[in-house]
Structure 1
Amino acid sequence: MAKTPRLSGSAKQSLLRSGFGSMVLEGASGITTSPVWSKVAKAQAAANDRILVIVELSGGNDGLNTVIPFADDVYYGARPNLGIKKDKLLRIDDHFGFQKSMLGFERLYKDGLMGLVHGVGYDQPSFSHFSSMAFWQTGAPNSGEAYGWLGRMADAIDPLGHTTNFLVNIDDSQSLAVRAMNHVPLVFNNPDTFTRHMFDEEKSAFSAIDRRDSNGSGNASQDFLFDIAASAKSSEQLVRDAWTDYETPIDYGLVPFGLEKVAALVAADFPTKVYYVPYRNNAFDTHVYQGDLHSRLWSYTSDHIAAFVRDMERLGRSDDVVVMVFSEFGRRVAENTSLGTDHGTAGPVFVIGKPVIGGRYGAVPSLTDLDDGNLKFTTDYRRIYSTLIQGWMGHDHADGILKQQFNPIPMFGSRG
């Protein structure tokens, strides 16, 4: 039997960059990992059932009006109009509280299911949404890194790409965070319309691809593209079936932004290890009349995430799922003249789930020792990435993924 030639990783990426991947699911916003990389089923990455869900809050969430330092009078001095009064918040201890709209988060924190990390940021911060988000998504600030930190993690855990759909991105377009060398993320937003789009003239060609001999043609590049097409056809149907079959009594809130779709795939036993879900459209960019808007945003976000955690419990998967919630930067300490806040630096990050040892982590940034009106970060965000890579996903060489050593935060311990 003739031996089928293999494509190198660079050859695969060259084909995908040339546009051959996107033609498979044009209009569906994504493609799945090809069966070329899935011959050995459930290999390294299937060694455990752990799932990591990343929630991105685009726009730069105001951390000081999320985790409110009500015991610090400097906070109220800097925010005479926007400061959340002590009788208008949900106290989580003697110093901090949440917005009154964050009942879901209050419950998660008080039930010990949330690790709240203070002062998260990075050195030489960017105040650009695009640049700072790219730094968070790559885990490599000011570097021009081509692949995302989650994509590099997928490549490190499963270097041959054996695990089908290791990465799923719930969005209209692929995030840099999940860009990988050996894994092609499955990207979709609406499961009901997740299908291949084609012109009438292309239908006969796609039908021929779907009917082709599974033994291959002997042409590695052609087989790679044909296998992407076959895998795309299979995955689009699996996603639609999972969504159609999914039923839950859990209320996902007024503005569900994607975690209900993650729950549907988890319920359908998708092999996915990483889900990336943004709250889109720069919603948290609250420069003007922030008060009511920010409160509503956190009502939606808090309810939605808390519902997802409850749904994982209902499905019997609460021991297997951890959620990280972040934003590309925080806001300045002082309110602006438009009753909003402007782009700042450090902010809180939340790590949520039954496996998490709940509580507050990291040093609280000073509200008086500032850098041109901005908080000085106290926790490098890559420490959280190292914690998730090593403490949760079980990969011992986070430094290889993050390009340097960052000490993990002990929020998993014996539970991890």
Structure 2
Amino acid sequence: MSTKFLNRRDFMGQANCALISALPIMNTLLNLRLAGSAAAQNGPGDYKALVCLFLSGGNDSFNMLAPRGAAYQEYANIRQSIALPENQLLPINPTVDPGRPLGLHPALPGLQSLFESGKLAFVANVGTLVEHVTKNQYNAGQKLPLGLFSHSDQIEQWQTSIPDNRSGIGWGGRMADLLKSLNTENRFSMNISLDGSNVWQAGNTIAEYAIRETGADSMTGYNSAYIAGQSLTQIRSAALDSQMALEYQNIFQKSFAKSKKDATAAYDAFTAATTVTLPASVTWPSSRLADQLKMVAKTIAGRGNLGQRRNTFFINYGGFDHHSGLIANQAAMLPIVNDAVKAFYDTLVALGAENEVVLYSASDFGRTLTSNSQGSDHAWGGNQFVLGGQVKGKRIYGTYPDLYQDSLLDVGRGRLIPTTSVDEFFAEMALWLGVAKTDLPLVLPNISRFFNTTGSTPPVGFLL
């Protein structure tokens, strides 16, 4: 496959159209080579997909992954009324000692089994960072992400990996700009969203292809092939075809008509490729999240007919802003995550695709370790999980922090300075998907502040 290069003028034009306004980032990108870097690293028939499960609202992840044993009292002392009873925590046995015994929220037995089988890992105390920062620098207002503790700002930064500038371009989109040439089918994007428009998948030259948990979006009742015996479908389809066939005088109308025809053609192709029967050996739970992950599984099952070697998928499961009712709300919501993720991975195994897919969790931010009496408030560093056949699981990556009040990382109320940056977290997955180390700054403009792209060590180490 040939490698495509964009010259400075082409890339400037694309970036202007995408409304990137951060000049330092623009200069960085313009001075780097934009290359289809995956072509040299992977064989012609390989397939890889990255799934982002965004738990919006700010999941309280220190109740998702909590201390046990000798470290439990430290956790209980600071969490008070929102601490889980130690005997309810599901024990895990990491192959590398994280410095204290840990357990999972009692609603996560599926994640526990995936962890123990070596297919799931946690990355501890990860968050948005401009640079590594000390408590004194925080108190002086130095090196801090824009809008720290703000939902909208931190969601944007988790999806752009640019905490020191505003951007509408996501790191998943920038990654797709590099890798999209690996896909032979261009009627729909490499980036597929189950939650409509999002920043993560917006690139300079690419946007997301939005689908629903029932399949691709299109005009209701349209089928370009006309199904025999379905007169209502035929009437609707004929009417739409007639409208699209008109000889419009206005150039915008002509363009719009062509776009509609292209959209319906893409719909037909996508629907045909993803109309598959998943293995009956896996029982899927009943939830919207499960339906979304089931649709992702169907898309992956149809990968051979889609003409794509790389995909990203975006799923959003919201409602984690638990300022009150934390214990009850997590007890209701985390089983939905647990059951859907477990069914998804089991389906990948049944399809023989578990080594081709990585799923990771993300959220706005961690939450305060201290309680406001009913829940927890906005904070900074938190814990995330990553799942896949090529994940070096049964380990806690990064540094699980001390949880006592006023520790070196506690900037107030148990708001913890992250010890692993989102850049490092994301770089691990970008490299796995096929981005070359030398091209990482195109995807993650701040990566050199945290990771030596010319070295031999991985950013975090959780992928084979």
Q: Which residue of 1 aligns with 2:462?
A: 411
What one-letter code is carried by the residue in structure 2 that aligns with 1:184? Answer: A
What one-letter code is carried by the residue in structure 2 that aligns with 1:157? Answer: L
Q: Which residue of 1 aligns with 2:165?
A: 143
The offset of 1:233, in angstroms, is 1.3
1:237-289 superposed Cα distances (whole Å, 9 cap, x missing partner): 23433554333322232324111110011111132623333333x31111111
What one-letter code is carried by the residue in structure 2 that aligns with 1:355? Answer: Q
Whether the 8 Å contact between 1:324 and 1:351 is mirrored in structure 2 is: yes
Match of 1:287 among 316, 320, 323: 323
Whether the 8 Å contact between 2:194 and 2:313 is mirrored in structure 1 is: yes
Classify the secondary structure of the residue corresponding to 1:145: coil
Instruction: For 1:28-67, list aligned pairs within 5 A.
Output: 47=44, 48-67=46-65
Structural RMSD (CA): 3.3
Match of 1:297 among 324, 330, 333: 333
What one-letter code is carried by the residue in structure 1 that aligns with 2:201? Answer: V
What one-letter code is carried by the residue in structure 2 that aligns with 1:333? Answer: L
1:104 aligns with 2:110: yes
The offset of 1:343, in angstroms, is 1.1
Q: Which residue of 1 aligns with 2:207?
A: 184
The offset of 1:163, in angstroms, is 5.0
Percent identity over paired residues: 23
The offset of 1:296, in angstroms, is 2.1
Classify the secondary structure of the residue corresponding to 1:141: coil
In 1, Cα distance between equivalents of 2:17 and 2:174 = 19
Whether the 8 Å contact between 2:169 and 2:204 is mirrored in structure 1 is: yes
The offset of 1:307, in angstroms, is 1.0
In 2, Cα distance between equivalents of 1:320 and 1:288 = 39
In 2, Cα distance between equivalents of 1:163 and 1:9 = 23
Q: Which residue of 1 aligns with 2:192?
A: 168
Match of 1:273 among 288, 305, 310: 310
- CA change 1:188–1:332 in 2 (3 A) is same
Classify the secondary structure of the residue corresponding to 2:51: strand
1:378 aligns with 2:378: no
Whether the 8 Å contact between 1:161 and 1:183 is mirrored in structure 2 is: no
The offset of 1:354, in angstroms, is 0.8
Count of aligned pairs = 371
1:261 aligns with 2:295: yes
Instruction: For 1:343-354, list aligned pairs within 5 A.
Output: 343-354=378-389
- CA change 1:208–1:300 in 2 (3 A) is same
1:175-223 superposed Cα distances (whole Å, 9 cap, x missing partner): 11000122232102243572136999975342459xx9xxxxxx9x999
Instruction: For 1:166-245, list aligned pairs within 5 A.
Output: 166-171=190-195, 173-191=196-214, 194-196=217-219, 204-207=242-245, 228-245=259-276
Classify the secondary structure of the residue corresponding to 1:56: strand
Match of 2:150 among 103, 125, 128: 128
In 2, Cα distance between equivalents of 1:330 and 1:241 = 41
- CA change 1:147–1:46 in 2 (3 A) is farther
Normalised to the residue count of structure 2, the TM-score between the two structures is 0.72
In 1, Cα distance between equivalents of 2:65 and 2:240 = 54
In 1, Cα distance between equivalents of 2:384 and 2:163 = 17
What one-letter code is carried by the residue in structure 2 that aligns with 1:148? Answer: G
Classify the secondary structure of the residue corresponding to 1:234: helix
Classify the secondary structure of the residue corresponding to 1:64: coil
Whether the 8 Å contact between 1:121 and 1:379 is mirrored in structure 2 is: yes
**Which structure 1 segments of 5+ residues have no match?**
1-7, 18-41, 213-218
What one-letter code is carried by the residue in structure 1 that aligns with 2:191? Answer: L
In 2, Cα distance between equivalents of 1:158 and 1:168 = 12
Normalised to the residue count of structure 1, the TM-score between the two structures is 0.80
Classify the secondary structure of the residue corresponding to 2:386: strand
1:310 aligns with 2:346: yes
